[in-house]
């Protein structure tokens, strides 16, 4: 990723803002997003490394304006921080599994929340979060996907489409 960021830095003066943002998204952001749901629960140091790569990419696009706050540039590019991108990817995967029931091997890991008595939460499409005791268990899909899914507001969870 750093190689591509440096290469973009060298040709940045010849590119328009739109083209630089498009190239950055295609070349570097796509690599940050590739299989990033596997990084859920990883150490803060690993997330920090990826966040630094994203930050340096945004500085290249903005011609290295170090005085500007990076959160403003992230909003300008419609980029989320790395940790949030991981959560969004897991939530989107969970939505697709619940709406299409595919792939079956992942669908078999998700169970609907069924309270023992009639509660308002029974109609909110919540998932059952299994009990785990270890940090490794908190990284497993069957734990982290329902946990993230249940934190999403009900209006978004009950949406008919992703868009």
Residue 162 in domain: no
Do 103 and 73 reside in the same domain of the chain?
no
Domain that holds residue 7: 2-79
Do 63 and 116 reside in the same domain of the chain?
no
Do 9 and 74 reside in the same domain of the chain?
yes
Residue 13 in domain: yes
13-46 pLDDT, tens digit per residue, is 999 888 988 888 888 888 888 888 888 988 999 9
Do 56 and 110 reside in the same domain of the chain?
no
Residue 163 in domain: no
Q: What average pLDDT score do residues 115-142 get?
A: 83
In 3D space, the residue among 14, 11, 1, 16 whose CA is nearest the CA of residue 56 turns out to be 1
Q: Is 66 helix (H, G, I), strand (E, B) or coil?
A: coil
Last residue within a domain, chosen from 26, 50, 79: 79
User: Alpha carbon of 59 to those of 21, 53, 64, 71, 136: distances in Å?
Assistant: 11, 10, 5, 11, 35
Residue with tokens 């899914």: 149
> How many domains does the chain contain in total?
2
The answer to pTM > 0.85 is: no
Do 57 and 104 reside in the same domain of the chain?
no
Residue 109 in domain: yes
In 3D space, the residue among 138, 149, 84 whose CA is nearest the CA of residue 112 turns out to be 149
Least confidently predicted of 56-70, 91-105, 119-133: 56-70
**Paired residues of 127 in beta bridges:** 112
Token readout for 16 is 């328009």
Last residue within a domain, chosen from 50, 79, 108: 79
Do 94 and 61 reside in the same domain of the chain?
no
Last residue within a domain, chosen from 56, 79, 102: 79
Cα Rg, the chain, nearest whole Å: 19
């Amino acid at each position: 990723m750093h190689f591509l960021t440096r290469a973009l830095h060298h040709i940045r003066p010849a590119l328009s803002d739109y083209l630089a943002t498009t190239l950055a998204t295609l070349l570097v952001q796509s690599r940050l997003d590739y299989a990033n749901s596997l990084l859920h629960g990883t150490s803060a140091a690993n997330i920090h490394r990826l966040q630094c790569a994203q930050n340096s990419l945004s500085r290249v696009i903005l011609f290295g304006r170090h005085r500007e706050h990076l959160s403003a540039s992230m909003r300008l590019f419609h980029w989320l921080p790395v940790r949030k991108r991981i959560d969004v990817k897991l939530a989107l995967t969970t939505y697709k599994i619940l709406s299409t029931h595919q792939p079956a091997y992942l669908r078999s890991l998700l169970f609907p929340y069924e309270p023992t008595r009639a509660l308002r939460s029974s109609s909110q499409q919540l998932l059952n979060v299994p009990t785990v005791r270890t940090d490794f268990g908190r990284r497993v899909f069957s734990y982290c996907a329902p946990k993230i899914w249940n934190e999403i507001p009900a209006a978004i969870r009950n949406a008919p489409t992703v868009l």
